[in-house]
Amino acid sequence: MPPWRGPWAWADRLGNAATTRLLIECPDARGVVARVATLIADTGGNILDADQHTDPDTRRFFMRVEFEPSPGQPASAFESAFAPLAGELSITHRLRWAGAPPRRVAVLCSTETHCLSDLLWRSANGEFAGGEVSLVLSNHETGRSLAEQAGVPFVHEPIGADGKPAQEARVLEALGSAGADLVVLARYMQILSPGAVARYPARIVNIHHSFLPAFAGARPYHQAFERGVKLIGATSHYVTDELDEGPIIAQQTARVSHRDAVAEMVRKGRDLERVVLADAVRLHLDDRVLVSGRRTVVFR
């Protein structure tokens, strides 16, 4: 643990570790909330927070429940009790049991370190209650000292003479060895293959800049500058096979003007990227994001 952790660090984390989160998706049906809530009550749980949503188009039902389980009850007992209901109502679910160890987060980056630096500080100071950065991996050496200062292992996997697929294989192996639960692309400038993406469905988070209107092609900030936009934005999303088209988790914009040269727009863009990526990572680790098709339901 690095010595520069602030005084509040563990207070937050302890507060969250005692709750269980249950995420549900199923076809809309009369009585789902009642059935699920009753089952939790019958197993001795106490609901602290619950959020539901029914998509008006698809009639899919989404629910997030945060509850205190009966003291001493194991997750397996709840799973057994829940299984018949899940079967009956065609429920897909995800359960994160109280007291589970923090999830292991791997951060991938290249030469830019603004997001990496920010994520390491937040992780060390307990801002990600449900996880912690436990690996930094890069195709460059730039991030090494930041990682090592934070006490996080750093792996350097450059693209070598054996080509990009070989490098990706080594990256996947490193992620596997580190037991990564969540992969964060913090300005990692390599495109992952469909095979790599398939290993971590809805568990790879990326950040990219966004503009109104959108600009295709290279050097988007230059294009935005030439077009005289008055806002720039950043979007974080889950990675799918469609480049930068995965389900959106968080977005934010900032004002720019004719006085902002391209370098200044890039700087403001970095400020946005830091905040929006950290927001997405926290929402994911708090189990607040459900993916449905091309969209997310984010229970803030």
Backbone angles phi, psi at 275, to 5 degrees: -70, -40
Residue type, 172: L
Candidates 18, 27, 41, 84; binder of its own copies (CB under 8 A) is 41
Taking the complex as a whole, how short is the minimal distance between the CB of residue 195 and its own copies, in angstroms?
Answer: 25
Smaller CB separation from its own copies, 64 or 196? 64
Smaller CB separation from its own copies, 190 or 251? 251
18 near its own copies, judged by CB under 8 A: no
Candidates 17, 52, 170, 199; binder of its own copies (CB under 8 A) is 52
Round to whole Å and give the CA distance between 283 and 268.
23
Instruction: Spell out, one character per residue from 221 to 250, where the chain touches its own copies: x when CB under 8 A holds, - when not.
Output: -----xxxxxx-x-x-----------xxxx
Residue type, 192: L
Count CB atoms within 10 A of the CB of residue 158: 10
**Which residues are within 8 A (CB) of 32 and not within 5 positions of it... i.e. 6 or more apart?**
24, 26, 61, 63, 89
Candidates 127, 157, 168, 181; binder of its own copies (CB under 8 A) is 127
Residues numbered 145-164 forming contacts with its own copies, rule: CB under 8 A: 145-146, 149
Query: Catalytic site residue 49?
Result: no
Candidates 3, 71, 72, 87; binder of its own copies (CB under 8 A) is 3
Residues numbered 75-104 forming contacts with its own copies, rule: CB under 8 A: none
Candidates 55, 93, 178, 203; binder of its own copies (CB under 8 A) is 55
Helix axes 262-285, 114-124, angle to 10 degrees: 30
Residues numbered 180-199 forming contacts with its own copies, rule: CB under 8 A: none
Candidates 10, 49, 158, 160; binder of its own copies (CB under 8 A) is 49
Tell me which stretch binds its own copies (CB under 8 A): 53-61, 82-90, 159-167, 169-177: 53-61
Buried b / exposed e over 91-107, threshold 16 CB at 10 Å, is bebeebbbeeebbbbbb
CA 130 to chain centre: 11
| Residue of 244, 279, 286, 287 marked catalytic | 244
Smaller CB separation from its own copies, 161 or 263? 263
283 near its own copies, judged by CB under 8 A: no
217 near its own copies, judged by CB under 8 A: no
Smaller CB separation from its own copies, 164 or 294? 294
59 near its own copies, judged by CB under 8 A: no
Residue whose token pair is 């984010």: 298
Q: Which residues are catalytic?
A: 244
